[in-house]
Amino acid sequence: MRLFMFIVLAAAGPEMAACSKPNPVVCCTSPADCNSLGIMDTTSRPCTDGFVCIDHECANAPPVDAAPPAPPCTMDSDCPASTPRCSTQNTCVECLTSTDCSGSTPVCDTSTDTCHGCAADADCSSDVCDLSSGSCVDEGNVLYASSNGPASGSCGHTSPCSLAFAIQSASPTRNTVRMIPGTYSTPPTVSAIHLTIDGTGSSLNIAVADGSVEVTQGASLTLIGLAITSGNGDGIRCEGSDYQNSLTVHGVTIDANGSALLANPCAVTGDTSSFRTRNANLPVILATPPVTMALSRSIFRGGDGVQALGGGSFVKIDDSLFLDQLGTEGAVLGGQFGGSGFGTLTVSFSTFVNSKIGCGTGTPACAGGNVAGVCIDNSIIVGATGGDAVAGTACDINYSVVMPQAGAVSGSNNKLNVDPMFQDQAGGNYTLKSTSAAIDAADPNAIVPSLDLAGTPRPQGARADMGAYEYKP
């Protein structure tokens, strides 16, 4: 048996020796590399032509690196109509400068090379941006005024005229007046015309007795960005009982010795504006019938509050701040005037500071088709030192913080005598601390404005916050 096994092994020997013939597929590049494979008889084992040694096996040589792809563009003609400009990075983009943009998207954002709407006058070559549409007003439709311009001429961009002459020269097609930044002294009168006055960067200092901006005889005025100081009379008077006038204010500041705004009669809308009277005995806003007024994200300071008087006076204010209103009537009044019924004033998502609310006696109607009196909701009321912040029964207050308050308040879901915890009341910062009881405490069924007074989106939490400012974590 042992002899048989020996014979078999001896017979197999030549075949096993034949297997040691180098495999042409196996390769190595140095003695150590070859030794690692058990190949001891050579210093290297290269591959035949056309092959390279990769991981000890001969393989086809990889192709020579392909040339980099051609850039998307080298000139504008290489680009499609949707992105017609070739950038310095050789990519097709929408714009390189604002001259590449037009229509409703006239401004080039050079960080993204895309066109967008204007957000400020400086975005436009005409120096007038229509904020409602985000488009630049064509220079041919603008009358330009300067504080020392003449009462004559074309009122062009480089040849401005006086403000009064620019208003006089307005027409249905050329109906925007741009006040070139400066200080003006003559109060304008807008009569029987639809007009926009852009006063961004300008101030109007009225020193004449009882002088004010006048809107009358069926005029419609949109006033933007102007700072008005009236040394004697009212700031703006929109009036004329034989006509229905209208006024829109955006970013306007009024500091008057009389009322900041008198509407009699007038349809008023506006936002992001500031109204102040320095006379403690006069209302900061006076609305007498027929008036509809809607103001948001604004500030009302001083005097005898905002007053909506008489049947047919409807005033609505939201996301606003009422400051230092300590007159006899208090911060807000919806009342009877000349036996003509009760005016209506509704205030929502607003903050009253150092301002009293004197409601008087009666029963307000704040729902349905017969709304009358004063209706406040989702607000913060912090009165002056001493006494209750709210006195009387003719106000309806709901979902609001009221402090100090020992007596009852008409309405429901209020937080009485609770500190709203402003960030810094003494320093004029009326935003909320994180521990404020006003946070996430507004009426869950309320129609919530999209932005607060500071421009913060509402709501930030599960529910909107009471007051003019939404707490932002």
State whether the Cα torsion 133-137-141-145 is positive or negative.
positive
Whole-number Å distance between alpha carbons of 344 and 366? 9
User: Where residue 367 falls among pLDDT bands split at 50, 70, 90?
Assistant: low
Exposed / middle / buried, residue 13 (Cβ in 10 Å: 0-12, 13-18, 19+): exposed
Contacts (Cβ under 8 Å, ≥6 apart) of 461:
439, 440, 471
> How many Cβ atoms are within 10 Å of 25's Cβ, its own excluded?
11
Paired residues of 263 in beta bridges:
238, 287
Whole-number Å distance between alpha carbons of 258 and 231? 8
Mean per-residue pLDDT, 294-312: 94
Contacts (Cβ under 8 Å, ≥6 apart) of 178:
121, 126, 127, 128, 142, 143, 144, 145, 198
Q: Which of 119, 123, 202, 190 is nearest to 160 (CA)?
A: 202
Q: Read off the pLDDT of residues 136-168 as tens digits, 9 standing for 90 and up.
A: 899 999 999 999 999 999 999 999 999 999 999
| Range with top average pLDDT, 163-172, 326-335, 393-402 | 163-172
Q: Read off the pLDDT of residues 91-107 as tens digits, 9 standing for 90 and up.
A: 999 999 988 988 778 88
Whole-number Å distance between alpha carbons of 106 and 101? 5
Whole-number Å distance between alpha carbons of 180 and 337? 41
User: Where residue 430 falls among pLDDT bands split at 50, 70, 90?
Assistant: very high
Q: Report, in this order, helix, strand and coil percent for the chain, each rounded to 5.
A: 10, 35, 55
Tell me the residue type at 448. Answer: V
User: Where residue 33 falls among pLDDT bands split at 50, 70, 90?
Assistant: confident
Domain regions of the chain by residue span: 24-63, 76-116, 140-279, 307-326+336-473
